[in-house]
A and B are shown apart, each in its own frame.
Chain A
Amino acid sequence: MLYETIISTTESLISELILSDPNKPDSLKRLLPILKRIHTQCTKAALKSETKKILRARHIIDSILKSGPKINGSRFSDLERTLSDFSDQVKRLDPKESDRAPEMEITKKIGDEAQNGEYSELKVKLDELSILIAGFCPGDIPDLGLMLNNLNDLINISKRIDPTTFYDISKRCKKYVENMTLKNLDDTKPVEEVIALLKSILRYLKKGEAFTFDYSDVLEMLEENLSRDIKGQIEQAEKKDADYNIQNAPEKISDDDMEILTDFISEAEENLDTIEVSLIELEQDPVNTDIINDIFRPFHTIKGVSGFLSLTKINKLAHATENLLDSARSGDFIINHTVTDTILASVDTLKALLGRVRQGIQTGYRESDDDIDIDSLRSRLKQLQISLTKGEKEPLGEILVRKKELSQSDLDQALEIQNKNSEKKLGEILIEEKKVEPKQVASALMEQSPVKKKMDVQVKVSTQKLDDLVDYAGELVIAQSMLRQQTKEDALVSKTVSQLGQIVNNMQNIAMSMRMIPIKATFMKMIRLVRDLSRKSGKDIHLSMTGEDTEIDRNVVDALYEPMVHMIRNACDHGIEATSERSKAGKPAQGNIHLRAYHKGGNIVIEIEDDGKGLDKDKILEKAKSTGLIKGDEQMTDTQVFDLIMQPGFSTAKEITDVSGRGVGMDVVKDGIEKFRGHLNIDSKKGNGTKFIISLPLTLAIIDGMLVGVDDERYVIPTIAIQKAFKPGQGEYFTVEGKGEMVKDRGSLIPLIRLNEIYGTSNNKKSIEACLVVVVESKEEKRAILIDELLGKDEYVIKSLGRSMDDIQGIAGGAILADGKVGLILDVHGIFSIVSQK
């Protein structure tokens, strides 16, 4: 039976296809409904491959309709081929099979021909009725008469149809229309609803399926309007307005709403439960947008659905929470504890509101939720959103009042006092007046300025590209300063050049800053290290840190890691005493290591400080003497003594452990840092702990330097090392036995260095009176460098001298000077070492 239907429909499709013209879209459109019909039949008969063919045909028609007649030819033949294939395929179906074919959802065999005729008639009548309703004007009695006639026809025709649904509804509708005539009602909505309902019932009748849907709301609508006279209608309109404001009388929940409400509540409650879990996850990972989205979505859904169900309070609260989360989602701020708490409060309130709705479902009437306050929560959400996103601060007084820790009148009083005495802060006044506790002010201040972090949109760039950029920026600086040299004479050009100089400088700064990253990541790795080490050694050690947001050149970070691991390992192994020892010395049982980072001058300084037993100066001196590093009769500063442990020959790990508790490869550490033009200083007090101070240049690519001339050579001295330059007068030059040449600077004698002697560029021993000296300092040691002239201060891009000249002591690198020639950059510390070796 089913197959026969498919075959016959297909035949009509093919004949329609023959009649259609590919150039006339309308003729193709006529195929679509037939295709759909076949599709439905094939789905019913579970003919999968046939179903797909039909969809394919539809797709071809769609594309022909979409793209003009140009390429239609081939597409159309494609369509013809597909459909004729389909037709062949269908014809091969064995009609007998059809009875055995799985039939989906067919509850009743398709009706007989007589009934079919009735259906068509009903359809015609229903359409007429639709037109009448659509054109109906209130009070138009003749039209109402026509409607009644029409309904009578419907009732008559449907009398014989089983089940009687159609008949029953038609009768009720007729009653309603009669009332419209008598009582002058003009609400045609119930009739429209009835028509829609009857049409769908008719469709089901035609298909031979049972109409199982709940249509009680339509009947109710009819009844409701019937039982009401005109006066009642007006009253109701008034009541509706009143309801909107006060909602006094409980509103009945319609069956339709009931079903949706039930679904809504169970879904919402389920969603709210998952939020709590997600919030905890979020605290661990506050920037994870996936988790934020998981929290955001339930509020979003609740907001959306509650709007339709006139659950105003739920809607407003969900909306406010959603807004806050939306800002967090788009990265305006990072979710903190305050936000989490507020969201949880919102979840609780929503649950309470949902509980009311659930009660309402049980009673059948909307339950009042007037006693549940959402306004304070909403304003808190709003407040959070504003203060977190824009950084605007809520006044302190208002926070206290909001938290009900201060009354408005007390606040006004305090504000008056403040007006008279403007220097005092509101918090101080309030505490003095004993209106609030200091603790309360503190917590209000915390709330006033929550930790705010801004998340920028970021792009990943390979470090190689960044290095190149910095390099070229450096070249640009050089080219610019060359240009400046050459255009010094021309005032006009020189003005433009200096303008260019500024742009170049800005650009260079930006390029440099791109390579800067916070040192935090490196510090964080140390937390793990300390935890592992303290567990291994059985000591209780705590690592704290400050300045972890300090930025540092990416390449320098790499240089820092190894030395830091070394030093922290030392601090844990040897610096911090065992717990019993600590308590004997009157120290807290828990050992403490503190990491500190800050900028100082052009350097970044990293300090690693422990509160362990400190370095033992005597033991170090003793050890140094025994290994021959010192003779034993030298006068040494503390710094020099501590520096001994960083000497290559000082010791090996085993021995040092016994002597000073320090020094596993300290020479390696020192070398590592100095390779990056950094310094390592040690500060220690026996019994109180040790502090390692690493200072590294912010960047390795550029150096701020003073250009000096010695004979024909030119050198760059890093500005950071320079203390002063002066021309020694008469009587300020000495030669000291055993120490060589010295210059006198304000009463102290400074050893003199002649660069031409160190580098062997000339044997020209100039008279000191004809020269200048530059006093340089490294590690609290001073030396005076003899130069011919000071040529200027500038920034120099450091260029490596190449691998073959990598380990020349006293030279940090080369720089291209403004005239294009190369100047050597001095490594002051290296020069000191050369001198002291002599």
Chain B
Amino acid sequence: MSYSILIVDDSLPMRSVIKRTLNAAGFGSSEILEAPNGREALKLMEGAWIDLIMTDYNMPEMNGLEYIKTVKAGEMSKDIPVVVISTEGNDEKIKDFMDAGAAGYITKPFTAEAIRDLVVNILGEMDYEEDIDDSDDDFDF
């Protein structure tokens, strides 16, 4: 499966961990974009094709919740599914995320299975890798 996934987290090693987990969950061939906080992520999203956003909650500059709200308020970005990866495990906070339009929620620490289940659940229907390969064969060369 090949997707463009944007990881938003202020910690570089945490982003690496998420990438590694995505790899282990079978999304190794996906294109991964990274941003250290909500504000940077919004800049990066300008003109980029993104299938899924995975964001942390507690970040400087712009936290995860504000970021989701901004993404969901953007005309062009409101349809991009956002998954929250956070340790903020209380129901109220999760409800806040869901109210803001998050498509899923994973608590840290997470397993590769949890990531796979969630991502497949959200993007599963959009599995168009085969189509891309077909188009490669037909038109690329």
The answer to whether A203 and B29 touch across the interface, beta carbons within 8 angstroms, is: yes
Contact A305 B128 (CB under 8 A): no
**A-side interface residues, number (CB < 8 Å):** 54
Contact mask A290-322 → B, CB, 8 Å, 1/0? 000000110011011101110000000000000
Report the separation of the CA atoms of residues A495 and B129 in the bound assembly, to the nearest whole angstrom.
Answer: 81
Q: Which of A12, A56, A63 contacts B79 (CB 8 A)?
A: A63
Query: Which residue of chain B has its CB nearest to the CB of A8?
Result: B139
> Which candidate, B10-18, B97-105, B113-121, is the interface stretch facing chain A?
B10-18
Tell me which of A113, A264, A296, A303 contacts B141 (CB under 8 A).
A113
A54 to B49, CA, bound (A): 9
Q: Check B139–A196 contact: CB distance below 8 A.
A: no
Q: Which A220-262 residues sit within 8 Å CB-CB of chain B? A: 256, 259-261
- In the complex, chain B residues whose CB is within 8 Å of the CB of A453: none
B75 contacts chain A at the CB level, 8 A cutoff: yes
Instruction: Output the least CB separation between B71 and chain A (Å).
Output: 13
**Given A37-B135, A55-B49, A203-B2, A305 contacting B11 (CB threshold 8 A):** yes
Within 8 A of A (CB), among B41-60: 47-49, 58-60
In the complex, the answer to whether A62 meets B49 with C-beta atoms within 8 Å is no
A110 contacts chain B at the CB level, 8 A cutoff: yes
Residue of A whose beta carbon sits closest to that of B109: A307
A546 interface residue (CB < 8 Å to B): no
B87 to A303, Cβ gap below 8 A? yes
B132 touching A33, Cβ below 8 Å: yes
Q: Which residues of B contact A305 (CB under 8 A)?
A: 11, 13-14, 17
Residue of A nearest to B16 (CB): A260
Contacts of A309 in B (CB 8 A): 13, 17
Task: Tell yes or no: B95 within 8 A of A by CB.
Answer: no
> For the complex, is A40 an interface residue (Cβ under 8 Å from B)?
yes
Interface assignment of A631: CB less than 8 Å from any CB of chain B = no
B87 touches A297 (CB 8 A): no
A393 touches B (CB below 8 Å) = no
Interface residue? A48 (CB, 8 A) = yes
A531 interfacial contact with B, CB 8 Å = no
B91 an interface residue at 8 Å Cβ cutoff? no
Judge if A443 is at the interface, Cβ distance under 8 Å. no
A55 to B60, CA, bound (A): 29
Residues of chain A with a CB closer than 8 A to B76's CB: 55-56, 59
Give chain A residues whose Cβ lies under 8 Å from the Cβ of B14: 301, 304-305, 308
Count of B interface residues, CB-CB < 8 Å: 40
Closest CB in chain B relative to A314 CB, distance in Å:
12
Whether B137 lies near A120 (C-beta < 8 A) is yes
Residues of B with C-beta under 8 A to A260: 13, 16-17, 20
State in angstroms the CA–CA spacing of A30 and B131 once bound together.
Answer: 8
| Known A-B contacts A29-B126, A55-B47, A304-B108; A199 and B28 likewise in contact (beta carbons under 8 Å) | yes
Partner of A256, one of B11, B20, B79, B108: B20
Cβ B28 vs Cβ A29 within 8 A: no
Q: Which residue of B lies closest to A26 (CB)?
A: B125
A206 interface contact, C-beta 8 A: yes
Between B13, B79, B108, B140, the greatest number of chain A beta carbons within 10 A of the residue's beta carbon is seen for B13
Task: Verify if A44 is at the interface (C-beta below 8 Å from B).
Answer: no
- Contact mask A168-212 → B, CB, 8 Å, 1/0? 000000000000000000000000000011011001001000000
Task: Report A16 CB to chain B, min CB distance, Å.
Answer: 9
Note all chain A residues with C-beta closer than 8 A to B60: 297
A58 at the B interface (CB under 8 A): yes
A residues 367-392 in Cβ contact with B at 8 Å: none
Known contacts A5-B140, A63-B79, A116-B141; A267/B11 CB under 8 A: yes
11 A-B pairs (CB sep. < 8 Å): A33-B135, A51-B47, A56-B76, A206-B136, A267-B11, A267-B12, A301-B10, A301-B11, A304-B11, A307-B108, A308-B109
12 additional A-B residue pairs with CB within 8 Å, beyond A37-B135, A43-B48, A206-B136? A8-B140, A32-B128, A36-B4, A43-B47, A56-B76, A116-B140, A199-B28, A200-B28, A203-B2, A260-B20, A303-B87, A304-B87
Shortest beta-carbon contacts, A-B, top 5? A33-B128, A33-B131, A62-B79, A264-B13, A196-B28
